Structure 1
């Protein structure tokens, strides 16, 4: 059973009908819908190190500095080119130094985590661990990667090794671990402690990261006003925080039944930030509005974007859903799901595999995968919905009833298009 704050009954009713609840105020965020990125300023740091490299091409510290600048550009714009450019610089720096700097290995591992290349990140971190330089920093990242790979015993072991209840890095990982276990209240408690440390440190990037992550947790718990206010706090620090704006758009769409305002925010984000999954959110909202033209346009934009080979396996999860559901091509979905299980054998990846088999019509195979690899090992609402549909198909009526109550409690996270699907379980 998920240990989470259950949304008030009034919220359940509202999510099944027209929602009159409101936490947002246009005045709060409208100033952030006219912002734009100063590209010249954003690129200046990378250009500075490029100039340095032209005069000293074998200076590996300049490569590392430029990689950091490229990573900043990627994070600000979502432009995948710069994440790959950062990877290339880090590979060069590691080659020039024979891999003798653990910090370089950690930096490349972080880049690979962003690319969802978790097994390669793990190899780098094991080398960094052997090196011994700033071992605690390496162990923190080893927790991250093992958690992403579904190696939960190793993840917990590293979490215990870095234990320090006054350390920001430990607390955010403890929050992530509690969330993984389904202990949402405990996750929020730890994230609140980490946020307090970030505020005391007065470091902008730590505060901004803390606010958006805490906002997400509050949203999962149904504390929408707190969620909204923390997205606003992040935007006060960085007017161009696309993730925070997306969070507000989700509240408008999923809680306040205001899809047009949500789309307005997403359209603004698209003027400076590239991320294919934002197009999928537009498509979902268009589906809710029954706007077939807008949905088609958004899905086409997504498909065009992910044809870029630089994305690699970053959008496998989304592609499985797209092929299995919107495009009705379960064979293609199955091929991607198998690849994702190979890359990242987590309960979530096995769920994609089970869902692909289910959509292909192989219900018994889907049920077997769920029983062995998924049930009781993850509490993500989307996964629980897939399990419920599969169990319904094989006649597990009592288990479906239990899952349905959990799904009703998670409707805000799932979005209003899921309400009729959950009703029919």
Structure 2
């Protein structure tokens, strides 16, 4: 009997060791060399050449377009909103003076507005681009993108059908996005894999990098964490300064491996050169998990100091709503922003935030009505489903809570360790 018990214990310990080994996917040796990347350059001889051609009364159309592209690149690499606004100014000037090729400048400015979450203005520009008559397919693709952002899904589907071509990279990535919206993750991944293969065949490095990070995200949603990690590394091998890929690896380390210290170390290396506000919000969440209140508040304060910049406009509304509701209890402010956000982009996700704000304001019946009318069955976003579960719980709808809880427990990787505790309390 003792031998039997001993054998069982040995097997259990071996199984435990094996399990722990499976849990560790990342290896600092894989990404360490990328953490010391120098700050991204924000000028070049090429940029200076074209920028020098722009004078106060300049009519150098090509200069404005090229300089705007460079500013957009600098924004993506540094997270500094100043560059996005400078790109906007250059493109607005290009639209003003263009007599030929204006459709392309309308589209470029519309994409700049999308980055700023100015979706309704972007839609107006896309309509002007389409009316110009040139670049019809590009305008239809842009209109799909904008209508998806605005929650106009029937209109978006019409534009998606209008560009149908399974051999086209642009169509494949949009079809992938459509299937993600519909909740068909397997098809989404298959389509993104096809798109990535096309980018590889064309040896288009920028499209390859974009495809790899998107695939990494989708693999994470599907629970394929090892594949997700592999593709973030593939992206870094193409662009060692990719802050997005490093953030993705930090999330795997934090949410899947529960190594908050290492995740924070990775993000600290990123925020030395990249200043997107949401990176500091993530660092605050990790510090909270670490029970480091000082570091949590320091990163929250950094986030708030950045988003106070009026240049951000409506870009961080969703983050601010959740912050005001869950951290600072500024309910009235959260409700005001949530209403603005619904007006800006009436999607199931923004309605979900509005419903949650009403719940926090003690208006659980209003919250439930918003969920029933605008959210239920219309989104698969785990964060919104968690808020929906809280609304159902406040309204005594225990069966609905149980159903959502089962679904949410399968999405703990996406939501993170801090939120996982909240799910289990439902």
TM-score in terms of structure 2 length: 0.93
Partner of 1:270: 271
Deviation (angstroms), 1:89: 0.8
- Decide which moves more: 361-370 or 52-61: 52-61
Deviation (angstroms), 1:60: 1.5
In structure 1, how many angstroms separate the alpha carbons of the residues matched to 2:150 and 2:407?
A: 26
Deviation (angstroms), 1:97: 2.4
Which structure has more relative contact order (CA 8 Å, sep 6+)? It is 1
In structure 1, how many angstroms separate the alpha carbons of the residues matched to 2:356 and 2:168?
A: 40
Partner of 1:325: 326
In structure 1, how many angstroms separate the alpha carbons of the residues matched to 2:45 and 2:318?
A: 35
Q: Alpha carbons of 1:378 and 1:112: their partners in 2 closer, same or farther (altered >3 Å)?
A: same
CA contact (8 A) 1:19 1:256 kept: no
Deviation (angstroms), 1:49: 1.3
| 1:2-401 equivalence runs, <5 A | 21-39=23-41, 42-54=43-55, 57-97=58-98, 101-401=102-402
Q: Secondary structure at the match of 2:54?
A: helix
Q: Secondary structure at the match of 2:59?
A: coil
What is the number of equivalent residue pairs in this alignment? 409
CA contact (8 A) 2:40 2:78 kept: no
Q: Alpha carbons of 1:352 and 1:99: their partners in 2 closer, same or farther (altered >3 Å)?
A: farther
In structure 2, how many angstroms separate the alpha carbons of the residues matched to 1:312 and 1:300?
A: 18
CA contact (8 A) 1:46 1:70 kept: no
Query: Which structure has the bigger radius of gyration?
Result: 2
Q: Secondary structure at the match of 1:39?
A: coil
Q: Alpha carbons of 1:19 and 1:365: their partners in 2 closer, same or farther (altered >3 Å)?
A: farther
Q: Alpha carbons of 1:20 and 1:299: their partners in 2 closer, same or farther (altered >3 Å)?
A: farther
Deviation (angstroms), 1:95: 1.1
In structure 1, how many angstroms separate the alpha carbons of the residues matched to 2:26 and 2:411?
A: 20
**Gaps (5+ residues) in structure 2?**
1-15
Partner of 2:422: 421
Deviation (angstroms), 1:419: 1.6
CA contact (8 A) 1:254 1:416 kept: yes
In structure 1, how many angstroms separate the alpha carbons of the residues matched to 2:214 and 2:421?
A: 29
CA contact (8 A) 1:20 1:256 kept: no
- Decide which moves more: 20-29 or 44-53: 44-53
CA contact (8 A) 1:139 1:162 kept: yes
Q: Alpha carbons of 1:357 and 1:98: their partners in 2 closer, same or farther (altered >3 Å)?
A: farther
Deviation (angstroms), 1:397: 1.2
In structure 2, how many angstroms separate the alpha carbons of the residues matched to 1:19 and 1:404?
A: 28
CA contact (8 A) 2:79 2:276 kept: yes
Deviation (angstroms), 1:57: 1.9
Partner of 1:10: none
Q: Secondary structure at the match of 1:36?
A: coil
Deviation (angstroms), 1:46: 2.8
**Gaps (5+ residues) in structure 1?**
1-13
Q: Alpha carbons of 1:19 and 1:340: their partners in 2 closer, same or farther (altered >3 Å)?
A: farther
TM-score in terms of structure 1 length: 0.94
Deviation (angstroms), 1:45: 3.4
Deviation (angstroms), 1:44: 3.7
CA contact (8 A) 1:99 1:105 kept: no
CA contact (8 A) 2:68 2:90 kept: yes
Partner of 2:6: none
In structure 1, how many angstroms separate the alpha carbons of the residues matched to 2:34 and 2:135?
A: 39
Deviation (angstroms), 1:72: 0.9
Deviation (angstroms), 1:56: 8.1
In structure 2, how many angstroms separate the alpha carbons of the residues matched to 1:143 and 1:54?
A: 36
Q: Secondary structure at the match of 2:187?
A: helix
Q: Secondary structure at the match of 2:23?
A: coil
In structure 1, how many angstroms separate the alpha carbons of the residues matched to 2:326 and 2:253?
A: 25
Q: Alpha carbons of 1:200 and 1:398: their partners in 2 closer, same or farther (altered >3 Å)?
A: same
Partner of 2:4: none
Deviation (angstroms), 1:47: 1.9
Deviation (angstroms), 1:82: 0.6
CA contact (8 A) 2:382 2:411 kept: yes
Q: Secondary structure at the match of 1:58?
A: coil
Deviation (angstroms), 1:258: 0.5
In structure 2, how many angstroms separate the alpha carbons of the residues matched to 1:311 and 1:224?
A: 33
In structure 1, how many angstroms separate the alpha carbons of the residues matched to 2:402 and 2:329?
A: 28
In structure 2, how many angstroms separate the alpha carbons of the residues matched to 1:99 and 1:380?
A: 43
